[in-house]
Chains A and B, each alone.
Chain A
Amino acid sequence: MLKMNHLSKVYRTEVVETYALRDFNIDVKEGEFVAVTGPSGSGKTTFLTIAGLLETFSGGEYHLDGIEVSQLNDNARSKIRNEKIGFIFQAFNLIPDLNVYDNIEVPLRYRGMKGAERKQRIMDSLERVGLSSRAKHYPAELSGGQQQRVAIARALAGSPRLLLADEPTGNLDTQMARGVLELIEDIHRDGATIVMVTHDPELAARAQRNVHIIDGQVVDLSEEPRFHSHPEETTQSQR
């Protein structure tokens, strides 16, 4: 589903070149649930933005669903994001000017879906995250956990093949985090491929596979204990 070979990402500013990813290799199979861990600044978000076609990379290859994505133009990338990929962000990223219903509708409209089908999908996904009664609410009128569930509903409504989540529970307390993770596991059971960045060892433990990133490179921990926490990681996770 998602395969990166010798991929590198360089951020250039006037004075420095930062290798956010270097000789980065990963292969995520269709239907897999992968948790990505690693210290702060190691390149987890960078990996996810490249995987989600939000950003281009500097070298190497990336095949998404069998397509070499570096050849694609901006519109083609938008189309793939819209049809194949669902995003869940740490900061929820709902559009504050739109109510819950309209927020979930955004990607469906960009897909050019008919009104009736949009409505059906929005109601279904709201039902799945248990927020049917909040369709007319605005993001500011919801708790953090509820906002993240709306974001999940928004990703869900497009029935993505690949769900990318960047610390989806980072801004939530333990109980809400558990609810969100259950929803993600739900989506996984429906057949979607999941890549989730997390600082929380407990959440990472529930994935099928853990990928550890250090200094822009993958360290496979499947042979080692399922997780180990770096000292700086625990402090960072409190942010």
Chain B
Amino acid sequence: MQISPILSALRHHKAGTALIAMQIALTLAIVCNTLFIIQQRVAHLSRPSGIDEAHLLRIQNQWVGQHGDYAPLLAADLATLRHVPGVVDAYATNSVPLSGGGWSTGLGLKPSQNGPTAMTAIYFADDHTLPTLGVKLVAGRNFRADEISDMPALSKPTPPFVIITRALASKLYPHGDALGKSVYVAPDKPSTIIGVVRRLQAPWTGNFAASFSDNSTLVPFRLITNGTNFVLRVRTGQMGNVMRTAPKALYAANRMRVIPDDDGVMPFSAIRAKAYASDRGMAILMAVICVMLLAITAAGIVGLTSFWVGQRRKQIGVRRALGATRGDILSYFLTENLLIGMGGVLLGIALAIGLNLWMVTRFEMQHLSLWYVLAGAVALLLLGQGAVFAPALRASRVPPVEATRSV
């Protein structure tokens, strides 16, 4: 209703108006993009690994001294672990999801192919692996016990057959007919795909495996070396007990080993927390920055409006004398703030998109969803109205008699 006189009055307060509008614009640009990054971080760190983490425990074992052949030791340890009360199943492997270290390789569809068709993580597995991890087969079958062979460290794995994840299968064979087909893990000898599992994440959570984090290949090997990862499936509620009793059982069977104190026995909840610690820290830091920026902007609006109200006490009194109600004065300041806010928000939308485009080219960011910008714009306008309310209320309480008392 009174937009045009408010606008013309604002022309006499250019500096303050521009300051607040700029602050709103910058806040919008930064907050939109930051929230977008946070959302991506959160999506990243909450992606499923495909394994039944709540029931899984990893034990890292290192043999010390001269042992000769590790194969019987490994078999004995697995037998020991499977008999620990509370343990449902167990297997030994080179690496597990989220652990940060493991083997990766390129897969081809032809012998000695130039450049891989897909990258994949390699997990050593046996017939106990899928039941232990709780990973579901969607096609084909599991390994049989008699199909698992010993694989000394430092040798090139040439598996006769493999089980792969669905993500990898559709990368290799986009028509969904991977089962029974060949894939080249080794350059010259084909491996037959005998099974496809729904999901099994690679060990790496950082940028290294960003492009193939759901590509995993299970190979039917026991890793015969002096260090092993045991993965235990534990009954519900038994995690604490097994974490104490399982290492004891291993030591009782053979003392010539080291299970590191700090991370030798880790439930998967801890492995996950460690894997994403920096992602989560970054997301929290960014959220704190957002909140601080919003607080500073709100404080700026409160400050400037309070200053304006003080400066305009006399004219508020005059307006009241001329017939303005308290509501008229309140709505004057709310409208004024809304107009400044809309100016700032328009500029902010342009800035937000510009900032995002810059990050898209510089840091391989994704394109900012327009919904973020619009939601941010509405949120900032509401923030402005909230911030201006207290000073506007004070303005509405300036008595009309203020018009007559010239100090």
Residues of A within 8 A of B (CB): 45, 48-49, 52-55, 74-75, 78-79, 81-83, 87, 89-91, 93, 95-99, 102, 105-107, 109-111, 154, 166
Contact = CB atoms under 8 A, between A and B. Distances in A.
Given A45-B404, A54-B403, A98-B5, A93 B318 contact: yes
Given A78-B323, A97-B13, A98-B8, A109 B400 contact: no
A81 B321 contact: yes
Contacts of A110: 319, 322-325, 328
Given A78-B400, A97-B315, 17 more contacts: A48-B404, A49-B401, A54-B320, A78-B320, A81-B322, A82-B323, A95-B9, A95-B318, A96-B315, A97-B8, A98-B8, A106-B5, A109-B1, A109-B5, A110-B322, A110-B325, A166-B404
A99 B9 CA distance: 9
B307 to A, nearest CB: 15
Nearest to A83: B323
Contacts of A91: 406
Contacts of B2: 109
A98 B12 CA distance: 9
Interface string B1-37: 1100100110011000000000000000000000000
Given A54-B403, A55-B401, A98-B9, A74 B322 contact: no
Nearest to A154: B322
Contacts of B12: 96-97
A52 B321 contact: yes
Contacts of B318: 93, 95
A83 B325 CA distance: 13
Interface string B313-334: 0110011111111111000000
A48 B8 CA distance: 32
A87 B322 contact: yes
A171 to B, nearest CB: 10
Contacts of B325: 74-75, 78-79, 110
B323 A97 contact: no
Given A109-B1, A110-B328, A87 B403 contact: yes
Contacts of B13: 97
24 contacts: A49-B404, A53-B400, A54-B399, A54-B404, A75-B326, A78-B324, A78-B328, A81-B321, A82-B324, A87-B321, A93-B318, A93-B321, A95-B315, A96-B315, A97-B8, A97-B13, A98-B8, A98-B9, A102-B8, A105-B5, A106-B319, A106-B324, A107-B322, A110-B328
A49 B324 CA distance: 16
B407 to A, nearest CB: 10
Given A93-B314, A109-B2, A55 B321 contact: no
Contacts of A106: 5, 319, 322, 324
Interface in B129-175: none
A107 B399 contact: no
B140 to A, nearest CB: 79
A110 B319 CA distance: 9
Nearest to A45: B404
Interface of B: 1-2, 5, 8-9, 12-13, 314-315, 318-328, 399-401, 403-404, 406
Contacts of A107: 322-323
Nearest to A166: B404
Contacts of A102: 5, 8-9
B328 A54 contact: no
A82 B5 contact: no
B207 to A, nearest CB: 55
A107 B315 CA distance: 13
A54 B400 contact: yes
Nearest to B400: A54
Nearest to A106: B322
A107 B9 CA distance: 16
Of listed A45, A48, A82, A166, residue having the most chain B CB within 10 A = A82
The CB with the most chain A CB atoms within 10 A, among B8, B325, B328, B404, is that of B404
Contacts of A79: 323, 325
B339 to A, nearest CB: 14
A93 B323 CA distance: 14
Nearest to B316: A95
With most chain A CB atoms within 10 A of its CB, the pick from B13, B314, B322, B326 is: B322
Contacts of A95: 9, 315, 318-319
A116 to B, nearest CB: 15
A45 B401 CA distance: 10
A99 B8 contact: yes
Contacts of B1: 109
Contacts of A48: 404
Contacts of A54: 320-321, 399-401, 403-404
Nearest to B402: A54
Contacts of B406: 89-91
Contacts of A93: 314-315, 318, 321, 403
A49 B403 CA distance: 10
Contacts of B315: 93, 95-97
Contacts of A78: 320, 323-326, 328, 400
A49 B404 CA distance: 8
A81 B400 contact: yes
A48 to B, nearest CB: 7
B313 to A, nearest CB: 12
A3 to B, nearest CB: 21
Contacts of B320: 54, 78, 81
